[in-house]
Amino acid sequence: MTTEATGTAGATETAEAINRFPAIGVIGAGTMGIGIAEVAASHGHQVLLHDVNAEAAHQALEQMAQRLQKRVDKVRISARQRQEILERIRFVDELDALAKARLVIEAIVENLTIKQGLFQQLEKICPAETIFASNTSSISITAIAASLNEPSRLIGLHFFNPAPVMKLVEVIAGLQSDAALLAAAEQLCLAWGKIPVRAQSTPGFIVNRVARPFYGEPLKMLQEQLASPAVIDTVLRESAGFRMGPFQLMDLIGIDVNFAVSQSVFNAFFNDPRYRPSLIQQEMVAAGLLGRKTGRGFYDYGAEGNDPAPVPYAPPCDQNGTVTIRGHMGLGEPLRGLIRARRCISLMESRGSGYLLAGGCAVVLANGQTATARAREHGYKCLVHVDLALDFAGAKTIALAFSERCEKANRESVIGLFQALGKKVLVVPDEPGLIAMRTVVMLINEAAEAVFTGVCDAEAVDRAMRYGVNYPEGPLAWGRKIGFQHVLQTLEGLQQWFGDDRYRPSAWLRHQVERDSRQTLTERHGHG
Ligand SMILES: NC(=O)c1ccc[n+]([C@@H]2O[C@H](COP(=O)([O-])OP(=O)(O)OC[C@H]3O[C@@H](n4cnc5c(N)ncnc54)[C@H](O)[C@@H]3O)[C@@H](O)[C@H]2O)c1
């Protein structure tokens, strides 16, 4: 349990896990297979590498030797280590040579029938104790295993690209997979310095499923003409803390590849609207605008390389008047320190329900209402929605939306306040959830639903998203920081506003909200 939680294994466990598999078979020497072979050989296993295309496999080995040489040049490994790694990998022409392997990892073409045929052959070659693992990204582990006489011996080991670098491995259980084999594979991943997470075989497993809203929601915003790709990317990067914006990332992955995964997950979930693919992507694929690889996608990559798309930041404005902070501002609390540190800003602090007053406006974290509706509901003339930031102290950019009765002077004063705090400001249309909050609550909802439906546990989903796609925070940990009540209300607001079932909140969130309110009541009661 402790080893699983920390992603490390003790020296004895490491040695045991490695010794259990003196020889490992890797089938497919493409992008993933060669990387997996390198990982195994780097940890002392003999690797038997097989591919139908011997020439391609030898080329892949040659490229690996060159990559390892670069690591020697950078003094990351010694020349001797490089030599040992290369000597441990043996290309084998015939599948029969895999009889010695006690674990065979398949990374061949993504096709169910071909994968089934391969494992049927292997079942005749390898002894009963050999574990079979598939690196498939999208095919059901249960379905691959179903063609075997002994389906319990097949599991999923889903590595991420590049396998030697990426820490996450999803350890996937098919319906009939043997729990002891899953545990052994998990121990081996830990011994390899990887971070394994357990998941049940379901479409997209954890990462490829929970990440869908990171593309789907910004694409829907683009379709609704809420903001340009450059604005959406900037907010998600510079406010929400993602390493890359969704449109930049889709351009990098390839819009055709991303569209194909979206379609496959949508079909696999029986057309659930949560995974509905985007018409914009479909049109771009039809036009051959596939991203970086074709020179144009959401952005234009001219001869000069990346063409930085302009972002319409608000021009400089003056902050004037006193700023009042009423009560604890929750996620926005770091703003208090920033304001206090700016001696030129006059600040009043008092008790209250946790908000900020500036330039005659109530400034609050965006939820599932428009700022206009919220202003009306709470009797404010002017209300400003601030989009979600991962860390309000460190965020470079802040997105704001103003209720419709905000005058120019009100707006400028609030923009001026954030600028005085060192932020660039983007003013976006007054839509529920704005950009970052809307995207992140959808990620939280998807993570919650994966847990609610038994795909994985809460800790696994957070670890998977942090280490599989480098999210700045695990979605459920993020939900806890935002407050599950706020997440739930935002989703309900979006569902009502758009009349779209894709926003229906997961029952897991409702359970958390109930639990949190019970706890608050108990605490109040306990404190008399
Ligand atoms: N590329 C990724 O980012 C990525 C990430 C995770 C998982 N995957 C999965 O890993 C698997 C491999 O993907 P890839 O990107 O490495 O593919 P790839 O096209 O780079 O390599 C596949 C290799 O398998 C070989 N091959 C095909 N059929 C074979 C057979 N019947 N027997 C032996 N060798 C065979 C091919 O010659 C090729 O060298 C797929 O199931 C894919 O879904 C890919």
Q: Say how many CA atoms lie within 13 Å of 226 toward its Cβ.
A: 23
With a 6 Å cutoff on the Cβ, whether 114 touches ligand 1 is yes
CATH superfamily of the domain spanning 2-201: NAD(P)-binding Rossmann-like Domain (3.40.50.720)
Catalytic residue among 208, 239, 278, 445: 208
For residue 483 and ligand 1, the question of a CB distance below 6 A is answered with no
Pick the residue whose CA is nearest to atom 3 on ligand 1.
161
- The model's pLDDT over 176-212, given as tens digits with 9 standing for 90+, comes to 999 999 999 999 999 999 999 999 999 999 999 999 9
Using pLDDT thresholds of 50, 70 and 90, give the confidence band for residue 6. Answer: very low
CA distances to 18, 443, 445 from 478, rounded to whole Å, are 36, 10, 11
Q: Residues 504-525: pLDDT tens digits?
A: 999 999 999 999 988 887 877 7
pLDDT above 90 as % of the chain: 91
- Atom number of ligand 1 nearest to Cα 108: 24
Active-site residue, from 42, 134, 135, 137: 137
- For the domain spanning 323-427, the CATH number is 3.30.750.190
How far apart (Å, rounded) are the C-alpha atoms in residues 434 and 445? 17
Q: Is 108 in the pocket of ligand 1 (CB under 6 A)?
A: yes
Q: Tell me the per-residue pLDDT of 82-94, one tens digit each, with 9 for 90 and over.
A: 999 999 999 999 9
- How much distance in Å is there from the Cα of 30 to the middle of ligand 1? 5
**For this structure, is 431 an active site residue?**
no
Per-residue pLDDT, 184: 97
Cα(109) to centroid(ligand 1), Å:
4
Is 486 in the active site?
Answer: no
Q: Is the CB of 105 under 6 A from ligand 1?
A: no
Kindly state if the Cβ of 201 falls inside 6 Å of ligand 1.
no
Angstrom CA distances, 339 to 305, 316, 332, stand at 40, 18, 12
Q: Is the C-beta atom of 33 inside 6 A of ligand 1? A: yes
CA 114–ligand 1 middle distance (angstroms):
11
Provide the β-strand partners of residue 197.
Answer: 170
Cα(27)–Cα(154) distance, rounded to whole angstroms? 15
User: Was domain 212-312+436-477+485-528 assigned CATH 3.40.50.2300?
Assistant: no
313-332 residue pLDDT tens: 999 999 988 999 999 999 99
Cβ atoms of 95 and 125 within 8 Å: the answer is yes
Start-to-end C-alpha separation, the chain: 38
**Ligand 1 contacts CB of residue 135 (under 6 A):** yes
Catalytic: 43? Answer: no
- Is 229 a pocket residue for ligand 1 (Cβ < 6 Å)? no
Q: How far is the CA of 290 from the centre of ligand 1 (A)?
A: 21
If one compares 421 and 343, the residue with the highest pLDDT of the two is 421
In this prediction, residue 3 carries a pLDDT of 39
What residues does each domain of the chain span?
A: 2-201, 212-312+436-477+485-528, 323-427
Task: Report the alpha-carbon distance of residue 330 to residue 483 in Å, rounded.
Answer: 9
506 is catalytic: no
Q: How far apart, in whole angstroms, are the C-alpha atoms of residue 495 and residue 491? A: 6
